[in-house]
Structure 1
Amino acid sequence: MVGHDVSHIFKALSHEIRVEILDILKNGPKSTGDLNNHFENVSRYAVMKHLTILNEANLILYRKQGRLRMNFINVAPLQMISERWVSNYQGNFATSILKLKNNLEGSSNDMEKGYVHDSFQIEQEYVIKASKEKVFTSLTKDINNWWAYRLCGEDSSFSLEPKVGGQFLESGKNGDDALWGTITYLKPNEEIRLQGLLGMQGAVTSSYSYVLKEQGDATLLKLSHSAVGLLDPNWAEAHAGGWEELLGSFLKSYAETDQ
């Protein structure tokens, strides 16, 4: 990281509104309209200017969803600053202290954010007019061709290595990465089980699986996704809708037509 990049980051962090924007985004992506509504006494122009400064410092990324601009936090630059000035020993010691502090304060803080101790279970089925082999390849080797949701910028790429321990990884152009899941069980052309937060944050345990069943000339794809912990009440509905779009539309179209 060069000095010019560091100065951009510190400039971006020098204003309380920009810091508050990052605090909001650490709990999940927000549209520009949602951020404007949050700051009632700040003009839309001022909020957009703050977002531009954060984007220029690479502290936030955004992508278009229809007419909406969704903003995502990018913690990679902050991590690079930490690694530049903090030794491994100091970092480990500081991490231990922070973990203790978070364990003592975490429950009350999460409750203030609206998180609740809860769980959800999503079960969905889709009939895809393609062989099990084609669907399996689409879920693994070809996942970058249809997985639409991104955390690391519009030009990021996805990979999923089909083996136990294989990572479902998003790699951004600027060196920022996001781990969407890790394979815990694999039976080629039959079943894939993964553990991963899928956009959720905090004290959450989340796992999801795909089961493929032959159905004539087609494949029945069964999705199961469960999560338990401190959850945002909106996560269950958001993930159910996200799976329907990803599997019922994007994956289905790709596996059936290669488009």
Structure 2
Amino acid sequence: MDDVFRALADPTRRSLLDELFKQDGQTLSALEARVPMTRFGVMKHLKVLEEAHLVVTRKHGREKLHFLNAVPIRLIHDRWVSKFAEPWVAALSDLKHDLEERKMEKVYEIYIKTTPERLWEAITNTDMRAKYTFGVRVVSEFAPGSSYVGRANPPGQADELTIVEGENLEVDPPRRLVQSFRALWSDDVKSEGTSRVTWEIEPVGDSCQLTVIHDQLREGANAELYGGWPMVLSGLKTLLETGELLTTPGSLRYASGGAASCH
């Protein structure tokens, strides 16, 4: 977390994060045009943000795109925001998010001290998944072309609700999982149609770098589709590294955006 706080201490770096929040997936040239600084200066600041894992990059053809990674900020939130304040903080965060522009691709990155095999198990095992996806149980054979479905019992309801469904497009254990994703928990998200979620696991020393890409989202897609990812990935890290569950509560609506998409 020290790297995160150092990165956030500089107003220029915060401005770069603001620009990526407004429009994710920007090139160096696009970001350079938005801040009063030389290209070299912007590169230096982006390097600091990347080292703190607040920004991740992906190649699209010949272009290198920069994406805001909210997971480290979520980890700080989970450490210090009390479970009693969480509903108020989440409500205000959701309100701000709803007022901002959403793009077609979201990228999240986190480092977890575990093995690729154990991480793959946590992603694909029904009982383990339910521990960090707020009770959403995802059932599938996890074979290429197979289907999956995620269900949960919402508070105050006796009947089980289908949260999400889709198809396993690529299955390469324990390295890569690509799935189509169709949200079903409300009429608003049902109208968004089908998007795609990719899990990429890369071993790094005694840990794993986990990158989650949620793409093929329509321009201005409902934030519920992807808004829960930082909370879910934070819960996954906590579970694998400590064996414990996060105490911060998540409503079914908020958690579904990431929990269900962790199929």
TM-score band (shorter)?
0.3 to 0.5
Larger Rg: 1
TM-score (norm 2): 0.45
